[in-house]
Chains A and B, each alone.
Chain A
Amino acid sequence: MIDSIQRRDKLSPNLLEVSNLSVNFETIDRTVEVLKDVSVTVGKEEVVGVVGESGSGKSTLAQVIVGVLDIPPARIMGGRILLEGKEILPHPENKVNFRGKGINMIFQEPLTSLNPVYSVHDQMEEAVNIGHPKLEKKEKEAIIRKSLAEVMIRDVEGVLNVYPHQLSGGMRQRVSIAMVLVQKPNLLILDEPTTGLDLIVQRKIISLIMNLKKEVLSSILLITHDLAVAANMCDRIYVMYAGRVVESGKMRDVLHDPKHPYTTMLKNSEPEGYANGAPLKVSSGAPPDLRHLPPGCAFNPRCPMAMDICRSKVPELKKLADNREVACWLYE
């Protein structure tokens, strides 16, 4: 068994391979299963989306991969994470060695991920020191300016001398992208990169990332709740619900022909076109409370097609044609 896994690692074309990852959050009085048996792969030069509503575990997944999850209260119950065939879970003693060049992450709120007491220049310098530790100071300065220009900041010198709070939301997000760019990561994780930004700015940031992806970046793992953003950026998509992957496949296939009733509901929830007073087709209920999950499939109380078996047994992910997977009793 172990042999076969190791052999597969060598052959694997995947940059990132998360297999059967389970994470619990443990507090004094209860244990909450945040991720259950999650397997996600990101191939080279691929943009992979993880879509889900609040409480689906998508951000926890990102945090485990980059190793910024607080352990405890979190506890990793099982599973492996391979980055270019190398095991990065449990995180090795010198944790940071895969961060920066290996994996890098852009967070939702750049104001909290940028340090408020250092100027943009000083923070950029820090990033360059990690990415290119052996360069001369002059070369480092050149890299800083080049990467700021790459993210379409016009007034580079002006931006370098200010502090994060003096920049607008879109500019802050560009600075954090520039900081990531100087390290040229193989895998970039984007955690809700455009949530809270204005429409035109959002479009610019997405265009920027996609354009840079062609030139600089290798692969992207996009964590988002916004199906529209995912639909426009991703090659493949994983849909998560209550800590489990319920459906995966090529973006186009999943969107045009969703298999899991939850994916169908997500798709129907997006307002599209002119309604003229017609209601959206959506079932009642809310994303589940992970502390009190229903027995069986977590989606069964909201599912229009729930059967008896859905209320007693959790469906396993089942392989379908076209590299698709779905966890639903309808397809057993």
Chain B
Amino acid sequence: MSKQTINLNVNGQSVTAEAEPRELLIHVLREQLEITGPHIGCETTHCGACTVDMDGMSVKSCTVFAVQAQGKEITTIEGLGDPDKLHVLQEKFKEHHGLQCGFCTPGMITRAHRLLEENPNPTEEDVRFGIAGNLCRCTGYQNIVKSVMAAAEELNKPESVT
């Protein structure tokens, strides 16, 4: 099957890839664009490790064909923060031990980012329900929930006057 040209905006940059229609978004992101933050955990829509933000929605990029994402804006963990300037969620995951092996973390944080955009003052139950599509096999979720709650609190602080 012939390849098609796919134009995406990934983390604020316009990018182009050539992909067969059957190539999944996660494969194009990782293998062609070398954006390896989103992980392949189960590849069956269950684990959420491949979660990216697509036009303001959290999606599992293993269950979207890259051609379906034509023209869309994609944000991955790489677009949220970097080692020199961590995103508040990354800071709080670090501070509250919201990760152990780290495999689920990019998907978890990308999902939590969208959750807090939609609901800046979540209850603990809202957070648990909101990250139900992301599996973690290490933490038992306690510290992940704490981290997201702490990030919400931080983001809601009035900006300090300098």
Partners in one complex: no
Interface residues of B (CB under 8 A from A): none
Interface residues of A (CB under 8 A from B): none
